[in-house]
């Protein structure tokens, strides 16, 4: 095992410098959806890996995609592949931030900024943990391969293709996924899979320019077309009504239901945090918990048409669009969902609604009993003196499929920084300063356990 005393002393000594490095990461608005700051962030990360002593290379992706930053360091009987991403969600709505989204703020024990939780915090903490290990323990006990992509927030549009082209290079005994944290009750949570995702824009076109709304009796309104089309996809009972959709939803196994029902779920705390009196459809906590894992969803992430400013404007808009996020459970895939959606709309007279796919990821499940999982449980005990809760998969999505399912490597999402009010994807995204350094302690301990013969 490693000497945690010298390791911890190193963290204390380098506390402020580590946070300055984090501030540098946050300062770059690497918003993949808007192609902002991507190359700059890839370069800063590459430079950080170089300072660590890792062999590092940027893999450019086709169509101007964000480069994959790949790094290797150490050697040993086992190989740990670490997956993170350096891109972030857009910062809008800006006016709800209490400080600049790209200036790391320290308030009330929190570190606040776009990407600090998702995912630059854990990304950098793991690099700093390896630095700390080498400075205090010497040689690494295993080989580490880092895959850090810059398109996670736009559905990792090129990752599957890239992984296919580098299968050999990516061989490993386990994948430490993006990150992890704890739930409302402070229980450490880890996950060995995730839902898939398909993200679409729906576009409706009306007249060739905005018209005076007095023409509404005779001119088709694209906003109405869009509303009618959307209303056929899901009913007010929140059931997906796309033709044939539910035939592809594999029911949970008895074993999965047992695992899920055994998971803790702090329903009241959750509802209070997000300001809800009741869950959707007034469901109880047990149903809510099961649904989180069980069901596929269609979320309207955005609606856009016509006049949106203050007051009234009597306009018949030329265009309307919606952004839709489909979360997928087995055996739904992005290709299948797009086909079902197109057929469903066509069958109802909505062939005028254009579908633009912005990305997709297949769902992924992994075994739960590998050496990696054992090492993570031990590291959780070392770091927090707690046995973690093992989720069979997260309700969220991520590009686990290409790395874990395609390469057949056990995967686990685990770490210290994700907490229930982290506001990932929302204004005032944050992590706790304490958790940031706990992530380094957890990582070091995981390296020790996983590297052990």
- Selected binder of its own copies within 62, 64, 138, 236 (CB under 8 A): 236
- Selected binder of its own copies within 256, 426, 433, 452 (CB under 8 A): 426
CA atoms in the 13 A half-sphere facing the CB of 394: 25
Which CB contacts under 8 angstroms, 24+ apart, belong to 54-57? 54/144, 54/146
Judged by CB under 8 A, the stretch of 103-111, 132-140, 205-213, 254-262 that binds its own copies is: 205-213
Q: Which residues contact 118 (CB under 8 A, 6 or more apart)?
A: 88, 89, 153, 179, 422, 424, 425, 429
What is the spatial distance between Cα 217 and Cα 379, in angstroms, rounded to a whole number? 67
| Placement of tokens 């995967």 in the chain | 411
The structure tokens listed for 114 are: 């776009």
Contact between 228 and its own copies (CB under 8 A)?
yes
Q: Which residues contact 371 (CB under 8 A, 6 or more apart)?
A: 78, 173, 174, 410, 450
Cβ closer to its own copies: 24 or 294?
Answer: 294
Judged by CB under 8 A, the stretch of 183-191, 211-219, 252-260, 367-375 that binds its own copies is: 211-219
Contact between 211 and its own copies (CB under 8 A)?
yes
Judged by CB under 8 A, the stretch of 2-10, 39-47, 180-188, 219-227 that binds its own copies is: 219-227
Contact between 87 and its own copies (CB under 8 A)?
no
What is the spatial distance between Cα 442 and Cα 440, in angstroms, rounded to a whole number? 5
- Selected binder of its own copies within 68, 71, 226, 414 (CB under 8 A): 226
Residues 117-156 that bind its own copies (CB under 8 A): 153-155
Q: Which residues contact 109 (CB under 8 A, 6 or more apart)?
A: 432, 433, 434
Residues 157-176 that bind its own copies (CB under 8 A): none
Q: Please, what is the minimum distance in Å from the beta carbon of residue 441 to its own copies?
A: 26
Cβ closer to its own copies: 282 or 408?
Answer: 282
Cβ closer to its own copies: 242 or 426?
Answer: 426
| 3-state secondary structure at position 266 | coil
> Do residues 357 and 200 touch, judged by C-beta distance below 8 A?
yes
The answer for 2, left when phi > 0, alpha when psi is -120 to 50, beta otherwise, is: beta
Q: Following DSSP, what letter does each residue of 309-334 receive, concatenated?
A: SSS---EE-SEEEEEEEEEE-TT--H
Residues 262-321 that bind its own copies (CB under 8 A): 274-276, 279-280, 283, 288, 291-292, 294-295, 297-317, 320
Residues 385-404 that bind its own copies (CB under 8 A): 394-397
The structure tokens listed for 189 are: 């949570």
Binding mask 328-367 for its own copies (x = CB under 8 A): ---------------------x--------xx--------
Cβ closer to its own copies: 166 or 425?
Answer: 425
Cβ closer to its own copies: 284 or 369?
Answer: 284
Count of residues touching its own copies (by CB under 8 A)? 89
- Selected binder of its own copies within 79, 89, 443, 445 (CB under 8 A): 89
């Amino acid at each position: 095992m490693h000497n945690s005393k010298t390791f911890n002393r190193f963290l204390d000594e380098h506390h402020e410098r580590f946070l300055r490095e984090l501030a540098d990461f946050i300062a770059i608005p690497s918003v993949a959806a808007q192609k902002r700051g991507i190359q700059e962030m890839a370069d800063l990360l590459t430079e950080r890996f170089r300072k660590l002593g890792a062999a590092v290379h940027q893999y450019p992706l086709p169509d101007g995609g964000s480069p994959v930053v790949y790094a290797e360091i150490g050697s040993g009987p086992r190989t740990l592949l670490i997956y993170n991403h350096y891109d972030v969600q857009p910062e809008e709505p800006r006016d709800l931030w209490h400080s600049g989204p790209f200036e790391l703020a320290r308030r009330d024990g929190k570190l606040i900024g776009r990407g600090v939780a998702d995912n630059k915090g854990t990304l950098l903490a793991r690099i700093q943990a390896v630095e700390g290990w080498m400075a205090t323990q010497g040689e690494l006990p295993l080989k580490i391969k880092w895959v850090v992509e810059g398109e996670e927030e736009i559905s990792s549009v090129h990752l599957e293709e890239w992984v296919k082209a580098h299968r050999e290079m990516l061989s490993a005994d386990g994948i430490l996924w993006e990150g992890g944290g704890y739930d409302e009750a402070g229980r450490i949570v880890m996950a060995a899979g995730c839902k898939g995702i398909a993200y679409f824009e729906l576009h409706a076109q009306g007249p060739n320019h905005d018209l005076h709304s007095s023409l509404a009796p005779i001119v088709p309104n694209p906003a109405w077309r869009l509303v009618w089309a959307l209303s056929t996809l899901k009913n007010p009972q929140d059931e997906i009504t796309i033709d044939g959709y539910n035939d592809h939803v594999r029911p949970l196994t008895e074993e999965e239901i047992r695992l899920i029902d055994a998971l803790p779920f702090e329903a009241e705390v959750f509802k209070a945090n997000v300001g809800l009196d009741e869950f959707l459809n007034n469901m109880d906590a047990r149903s809510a918990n099961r649904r989180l894992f069980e069901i596929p969803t269609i979320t309207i992430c955005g609606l856009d048409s016509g006049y949106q400013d203050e007051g009234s404007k009597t306009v018949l808009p030329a265009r309307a669009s919606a952004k839709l996020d489909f979360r997928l459970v087995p055996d739904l895939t992005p290709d299948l969902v797009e086909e079902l959606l197109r057929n469903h709309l066509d069958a109802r007279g909505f062939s005028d609604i254009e579908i633009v796919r912005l990305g997709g990821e297949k769902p992924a499940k992994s075994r739960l009993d590998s050496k990696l999982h054992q090492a993570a449980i031990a590291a959780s005990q070392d770091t927090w003196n707690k046995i973690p809760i093992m989720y069979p998969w997260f309700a969220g999505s991520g590009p686990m499929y290409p790395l874990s399912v395609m390469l057949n490597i056990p995967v686990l999402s685990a770490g210290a920084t994700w907490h229930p009010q982290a506001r990932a994807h929302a204004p005032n995204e944050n992590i706790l300063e304490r958790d940031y350094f706990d992530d380094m302690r957890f990582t070091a301990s995981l390296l020790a356990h996983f590297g052990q013969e």
